[in-house]
Amino acid sequence: MKPAPFDYVRPGSLGEALQALAGHAEAKVLAGGQSLVPLLSMRLAAPAVLVDINALPDLDHVRVDAAGVRIGALARHARVLADPDVARVQPLVTQALANVAHATIRNRGTTVGSLVHADAAAEMPMILRLLEGSVDVVGPSGRRTIAAEDLYVGPLESSLHHDEIAVEAFFPALPANTGVAFAEIARRHGDYAMVGVAAVVTVEGDQITSAKAGYLSVSDVPVVVDLTETLQQGGDPGETALALLEPETDIHATAEYRAHLVRVLTARVLTAAVENAQERV
Amino acid sequence: MTEKTHELRLTVNGVTHELTVPARRLLSDALRHDLGLTGTHVGCEHGVCGACTVLVDGKPMRSCLMFAVSAVDVEITTVEGLAHQDGSLGPVQQAFRECHGLQCGFCTPGFLTTITAGIEENPDPTEDEARDMIAGNLCRCTGYQNIVKAVCRAAELKAQGADR
Amino acid sequence: MTTKLMGTKVQRVEDDRLVRGTGRYVDDVAPDALHVAVLRSPHAHARILSIDVEAVLDIEGVHAVWTYEDLDGAMAEPLPLLIPHPTLTHGRTQYALAKDEVNYVGEAIAMVVADNRYLAEDALASIVVDYELLPAVVGIETARAAERLVHDDVPGNVAARMEQSNGDAAAAIAAAPHTLSLDLAIERSACMPMEGRGVVAKWDADNGRLQVWSSTQTSTGVRAAVAAKLGLDLLKVDVITPDVGGGFGVKINHPWPEEVLVPLAAMRLGRPVKFTEDRREHFISSAHERAQLHHVEVGFDDDGRVLGLDVRFWHDHGAYTPYGLIVPIITSTQLLGPYKPGAYHVQFDSLYTNTVIVTPYRGAGRPQGCFVMERTMDAIAASLGKDRAEVRAVNFIQPDEFPYDHGLIFQDGRELEYDSGDYPAMLTKIKDLVGWDEFEQFRAEMAGQGRRVGIGLACYVEGTGVGPYEGAHVHIETSGKVKVATGLTSQGQGHQTAFAQIVADELGVRFEDVEVTTGDTRRMPYAVGTFASRAAVMSGSAIHKAAKKAKEKALRIAAEALEADVEDLEIADGVVSVRGTDASIPLGTVAVLSNPLRYAFDEASKAATQFSVGDPGKPPVAEGDEPGLEGKDFYSPPRSTFASGMHAVIVETDPDTCEIKILKYAVVHDCGHLINPMIVEGQIHGGVAQGVGGALYERMAYDESGQLLNASFMDFLMPYVTEVPTSIDIDHLETPSPLNPLGIKGAGEAGVIPGSAAFAAAIEDAERLSITAMPISPSELFALRQAASTNAGETP
C-alpha cells in the first residue's frame, strides 16, 4: 500500500498555489491529508500533482466574533475543538468535532479540508449545512463565498472548481433562544457513524419557533430537514426526516436499522436541543 | 523514467538529517528505511491502527498519513527519542514495563508516543481519561487493561521525576 | 539463597528493547534488501488465460518479475499439505504462484522484485492478466448446495467427512425424556496480528548458505519447507524468527508462497530480498477462521443431564486445505468441554469455498465448539425452567473421575483423555466472582431505571500442550552466564522471561544471568512450533529437563573439584557450595573445568587452576562424557494437558438503539501451576478482548462474488480500548497436570474461547430472544427484535 508517483509542490504563497493548481487538471490540494493519504496509499486516487498548502502563511486562524466562527484552511480539528470561544459562540461545532475520528487524526486533519472532502458520512459537512455556514474559496478569478447549501452537489463531490482552494469556513454564531444537540451511533468509538443527527431549535417561551435537524450517513450528501411544522403540528419528526433521507444497507447496518436510528436519534437530539434552547433564553 | 526526488531536512529526536526522497515517500517509511529508525512500526498504512504514531511538534500524528516532504519545518519525536538523556527509560516506557503494558511490542511505540503527549497535556489522568487518551490506537495482544494502568503509572512516574 | 521465581510476577526481559524501539522485527532487518510485491487475483474464481509481463521488464528499478512459468522443480509443485488425515480425501493446496486457475481474491499470481516496495507496486500495475471468470462459491450454504464447484474434481465441494462416536447417541436421544434441536452459526474472523507476515532472505554465496528471517510461528517448519522447495540440504538453510508482532495462529501455516519465493529470489538475484505484507494483503492472502454451521440434537433427563448428544456441522475451510482438518477436529472433540454426555456422536463436512484459506486462529475451533455446547446447555435450562449453572453442574466430570477418557481421538491423534481439573470448584468461583446469585436483584434494580441487563456463563476445556515434542539446550558459559535455546518461536508471550524463570530456579543462577533464544534454527534445529497453547508446557518442560541435566553435570564436576559428595552440594546465585562449609566454586569455573582445553584465555581459566578434576590415568574427556557444561533434552508427552476455564459476563442492551454494553466480565482460569501470573493474566486479557471482538464486532464480510468488503481496519472492527470491558476480574484455580514435571498447562488461547458463548447467553438473557448466530451487531439485534415483535403480533 504505497502511493503512485506524483509531482509535488509546496508553495509559499496563495498565488503560487493557485498557479500550481491551474497548470494541472489532475492536481489535488494537500492540507491535513487524513482522508487523502489513505486514498493515495490504496491507489484509489492518483493525482498527477499534489499542491501542499501547509507552508502557506496566515491560514491557520480560528477567529471568533459575535457573528460566528471563522476557521482557516490550515486550522487543525484539534485546535478548533479546544478553542473555548468556539464552544461559546457555536457549541455545535465543538460537539460535532469531538466525534470526528480520533484525537490523533484531529491533530493533523483540518476542518476546512473535511468540509470540502464532502463526505456525507462525516460530521462537519452536515454541521455546516445545518448551521447554514459557508466556505470561502480562492481561484483564478478571485475569492468567492459558497453557501453550504450550494457546496454539496454529490457523493464526495463539492462545487469547488479544481483550480480553487478553500481558504476559510464560516459557522454562524448560535442566536439567543436557540439550542443545539448532536448524537451519533458508530460501531466503535471514533468510527464513521451509522447514523448521526444534529439539531438546532429556537424557542419562544414554550413554543418551538424553528427546528431543523441535519443527518449524516443516511444520504449521499449531507441533508438538513426542517422539522418546525411537524413539531408544531404534533407530528413525528423522525418520519418527516425519513421521507427526505435514503438510508442504505451496508456491512455495518441495514437500511431498516438506520431508519430506526434516525427516529431514535431525532427524538433524542430534539429533546436535548429544546432543553439547551431553554437554558439559553 | 526516473522519478523526481526532493532533498529535505527532517529533524528527528533533536537530530537533523538530510535525505533525498521521492515526494510519495511516506514519513513512516522515511523514518524506518531512510533514517534507520525502525522503532516506528507500520500496522495498517491507512491511519487506523496508530502503530506509526510519532510526535510532530509534540503532538501525536500518524506518520503513515504524512509525506516526508511535508514534514519539514517541524520537530519529530519517535519512540527512540523517549528515553532520558542518560539512557534510562522515560516514564511511559518504564510504566509499560512495570505494568506489563505490552506483549508482542508491535503497537507499543505508537502508544508510547501518544501517551507521552497525553500526560504532558493531562498530568494526572483518571482511568477514563487514560482510556480516552489511547482510544485511537489498536493493540491485539493486551486487551488494553494493562495499558490503561500504564498510563496512570506513567503520569505518576513523570510527576515523581519532574525535577529530572 | 536464591528466591524461587516460578509462580512470581517477574518483569519481562523482552520489554527493555521493545519500549526503546530497538526490537528487531522482520521488516527491520536487511535495510539493503530488494523488495517484493505480489500480484494477487482480483477475482474469486477464474481461469488464467494469459499473463503478459512484458511491460514490467522495462521499468527502471525492477529486478525480476515471475509467474508460474518461472518456477521449476519442487517450486512448480503445489505447496505442501502439512497435516494429512485419512478422512481428508480431497485435500488441495495452492501453487506458490497460481497455475492456470485462481480460487480466491488474493491468491498470488505474479511476483515483482524491485529496488523498493513503491516501485514494485508500480510494476504490478503493468502486468496484464487475461481471465475467464468462473462462478464463485461463497458461504457454507452455497458450498453445501454444490450447484457449482470450487475444484472441478472435488464432488460436492467436500474435502473431508469425519465422524466419531462414543456410545449410541441416536438411541440415547430417542430414549430420553426430553429432546431439543438447535441450529447454530459462527461467522468468519481472523487473527489479525498488528504485524503482518514478512520474510527476508540472504544468499551467502561465499559459504553456500541461505539465511532466512520469517515472521513465523515455526522456524524449523519454514526451514524444512524452504530446503525442500529450493532443493537445498537442510544444513545449508538457517531460519531465524526475530521479534514477531503477534501471531494468534495465522503464522503457523507454512510455507506461505512468499516464504519460498523470497529465498528463491535471493538465490537467483544474489541480493537480499524482503517481503513485507501490507494490511490489505493480510486480509486477502493470509488465513481466516471460525465459519461453521452446526445442527445439534440433544436428549436429556429431568435434571438436565445430557443422555445423548448428536452434532452435525459444516466447516468452511476456504479455497485450499494446507493445514488439514485441525480446526474442525478440535471443534468436534473439544465442544464437550467439562461435560460427560451419556453418548456422543459428531460428524462434520469440511467444505471448499472461493475464499481465503482457513487455518487455526487462537482457540482454533474451540470457540465454535464452546458456543455449540454452551448454547445447548442454556437451551436445556430454558426448556426445563432451571438455573443455567445448575444444569451445567449436573453434567460436569467430577474431580475424582480424572484421568477422564472421552472415548474419542483428539487432533494430535491421541486419546481425548483429560489429565486433571476441578470443574465444580471452578463453577463456585465464577458464580461468586460475577455475582450470579445476586443477579436477579440487580436486574430488578436496573429494570426500575428502564435499563435492560443480562448475564451469561460459558465453560470450556482446552487441550493444550500438544506434542509431538520440543527440545532445549542449556549452556553455562565460563562467565557463569547461562545461554538457553529452544526451537519454538515467540510472538509476545514473554517466553524469554518465563523460560529464564524456570532455568534460574532449576540451576540456582541469577535470573539476570539467563538469556533465552527462541526460534533460531542455528541454536536449536529440532522443534515443532508455537501453537495450541503449547509453548510453556512443551518448551518449558524441555528447558526444565535440559537445565536439570546441566545441573547434574555441574554438580558432578563441582563435587570432584571440591572433594565433596554431590548430595552435600547446593547451587545459589551461580555458586556451587558444600552445605555448611565455606568451600565453594562458581558455576563459571565449573564450566572451565568441564572443558579440558590446551589453552587458557581468561580470568575464569586462571581461577580454575586451583581446582583439579579428572583422573590423569584416563582420557581428559572420559568415555560417555562431553566437553563443556551443557544440557540438552527433549520433552515429549504421551498426550495433551487439558486446561479449563469459565467466563461470565453481564451486558446491558439499549432498549432504543440496540447498542450492547459490557458491564462486567469475570474469568476463572485453570492452567495448572503458573510460571508467571502477570504474563498469564496478560494472555487472558488479550484473549478476552479477542473474544469481545469475535462476539460483537469482527466478521469477514464477503459478497456473493467473493470480494471481501471490509479488508481494512476501517471496516473490520477490531476493538479499541473503548470496546473492551473496563476491567476483567480474574481468579485462578491450579490443578497441576500430572503429565509434566512442572505441573503446567497452556494458557495462550484460553481467554478467547468462551467469548461468543458467554455474550450470546447474556444477550439472550437480557432480551429474552433466542441468540443462535454470532457475532451479533446492534443492527442484527434490531432485526431479531423486529422479527420477535412481528411473530408476537401474529400469535393470537
Give pLDDT, residue C532. 86
CB contact under 8 A, A33 and B70: yes
pLDDT of residue B1: 60
Whether residue B116 sits in one domain with residue B50: no
Q: Which of A22-26, B75-79, C461-465 is predicted most confidently? A: B75-79
Nearest-Cα residue of chain C relative to residue B1:
C60
Helix ranges (H only) for C731-777 are: 755-767
Nearest-by-Cβ selection for C194 from B22, B79, B104 = B104
C673: phi then psi, degrees, rounded to nearest 5: -65, 140
Q: Which residues of A touch C779 (CB under 8 A)?
A: 194, 252-254, 257
Judge if B52 and B115 occupy the same domain.
no
Tens-place pLDDT, residues A171-201: 999 999 999 999 999 999 999 999 999 999 9
Average pLDDT score over chain C? 95
Task: Name every chain A residue with its beta carbon within 8 A of the beta carbon of C720.
Answer: 188-190
Residues A182 and A219 in one domain: yes
Q: What does the pLDDT read at residue B162?
A: 63
Considering its fold, how many domains does chain A have in total? Answer: 3
Chain C residues touching residue B40 (CB < 8 angstroms): 21
Would you say residue A1 lies in a domain? no
**CA C718 to CA C731: how far, in whole Å?**
26
Cα–Cα distance for residue pair C538/C467, rounded to 1 Å: 7
Q: How far is A82 from chain B (nearest CA, A)?
A: 12
Cβ of residue B15 closer than 8 Å to a chain C Cβ? no
pLDDT score, position C8: 95
The shortest C-alpha distance from C778 to chain A (Å) reads 8
| Chain C residues lying within 8 Å of A192, measured CB to CB | 714
pLDDT number for residue B164? 53
- % of chain C surpassing 90 pLDDT: 92
**Residue contacts between A and B (CB atoms, under 8 Å):** 90
- Which range of residues forms the domain containing residue B45? 5-81
pLDDT of A25: 84
Mean pLDDT of C122-146: 97
Closest CA to A148 of A168, A164, A125: A125
In this predicted structure, the answer to whether residue B81 has a pLDDT above a threshold of 80 is yes
The residue among A172, A199, A234 that closes a domain is: A172
Question: Which pLDDT does position C624 carry in this prediction?
Answer: 87
Instruction: Say if residues C194 and B138 touch (Cβ distance below 8 Å).
Output: yes
Question: Domain span at residue A39?
Answer: 7-55
- Cross-chain Cβ contact C15/B105 below 8 Å: yes
Decide if A41 and B59 are in contact by the 8 Å CB cutoff. Answer: no
Q: Are A167 and A93 in a shared domain?
A: yes
B82: distance to nearest CA of chain C, Å?
7
Residue B55 and residue B14 share a domain: yes
CATH code at A79? 3.30.465.10
The chains in contact with chain B, meaning 3 or more Cβ pairs closer than 8 Å, are A, C
Q: Under an 8 A CB cutoff, do A104 and B70 touch?
A: no
Cα–Cα distance for residue pair B51/C194, rounded to 1 Å = 8
ipTM of the complex: 0.97
Kindly state the average pLDDT of the residues C689-714: 97
Which of A5, A189, A257 is nearest residue C782 as measured by Cβ atoms?
A: A257
Residues of C in contact with B127 (CB under 8 A): 726
- What per-residue confidence (pLDDT) applies to C257? 98
DSSP state string for C596-630: --SS--SHHHHHHTT---S-TTS-SS-TT--SSSE
Q: Do A192 and A247 fall into the same domain?
A: yes
Question: In terms of residues, how long is chain A?
Answer: 281
**Where does the pLDDT of residue B115 fall: very low under 50, low under 70, confident under 90, or very high at 90 and above?**
very high
CB contact under 8 A, C279 and A2: no
Q: So what's the pLDDT on residue C622?
A: 85
Q: Which of residues 42-81 of A touch C (CB under 8 A)?
A: 42-43
Residue in chain A closest to C783 (alpha carbons) equals A257
pLDDT tier for residue C765 given thresholds of 50, 70 and 90: very high
Q: How far off is chain B from A218, nearest CA to CA, in Å?
A: 23
Residues of C in contact with B110 (CB under 8 A): none
CATH number at residue A226: 3.30.390.50
Rounded mean pLDDT, C360-385? 97
Which pLDDT belongs to residue A23? Answer: 81
pLDDT at C794: 55
Q: Are C168 and C296 in contact (CB under 8 A)?
A: no
3-state secondary structure A178-192: EEEEEEEEECCCCCC
Query: Which tens digit of pLDDT belongs to each residue from C207-235?
Result: 999 999 999 999 999 999 999 999 999 99
Is B66 domain-assigned?
A: yes
C587-622 pLDDT, tens digit per residue, is 999 999 999 887 777 777 877 877 877 787 888 888
The enclosing domain of A32 has a CATH number of 3.30.43.10
Q: Which of C117, C659, C720 is opposite residue A190, by nearest beta carbon?
A: C720
Instruction: Read off the pLDDT band of B163 (50, 70, 90).
Output: very low
* Domain boundary residue, one of B30, B46, B81: B81
Whether C540 has a pLDDT exceeding 90, the answer reads yes
Q: Do A185 and C778 touch (CB under 8 A)?
A: yes
- Per the domain annotation, does B86 fall within a domain? no
Distance CA C559, CA B76 (A): 60
- Residue ranges of alpha helices (H) inside chain A are 14-23, 36-41, 77-82, 84-89, 91-97, 103-108, 111-117, 123-130, 148-151, 228-232, 237-242, 255-279
Q: Residue B42 domain-assigned?
A: yes
C-alpha cell at C500: 529464564
**Residue B121's domain is classified under what CATH number?**
1.10.150.120
pLDDT band at C796 (very low <50, low <70, confident <90, very high): very low
Q: Check whether residue B101 and residue B150 sit in a common domain.
A: yes
Domains of chain C with CATH codes: 15-134+197-244+251-285 (3.90.1170.50), 388-466+638-794 (3.30.365.10), 470-635 (3.30.365.10)
Residue among C646, C671, C638 at smallest CA distance from C742: C671
Candidate from C18, C60, C494 with C-beta closest to B2: C60
Assess whether B10 and B69 both reside in one domain.
Answer: yes
Instruction: Flag whether residue B65 sits within 8 Å of chain C, measured between CB atoms.
Output: no
Domain count within chain B: 2
- CATH number of B36's domain: 3.10.20.30
Residues A201 and A272 in one domain: yes
Shortest distance between the Cα of B67 and any Cα of chain A, in A, equals 9
The share of chain B scoring above pLDDT 90, in percent, equals 95
Read off the pLDDT of each residue in C335-350 and give the average, rounded to a whole number.
Answer: 98
Residue B106 shares a structural domain with residue B156: yes
Q: Rounded mean pLDDT of B136-140?
A: 98
In this structure, the answer to whether residues A130 and A98 fall within a common structural domain is yes
Query: Rg (Cα) of chain B, in Å, rounded?
Result: 16
Grid cell listed for C678 = 502477570
Q: Using CB atoms, which residue from B42, B96, B140 is nearest to C246?
A: B140
The span from the CA of C206 to the CA of C399, in Å, is: 62
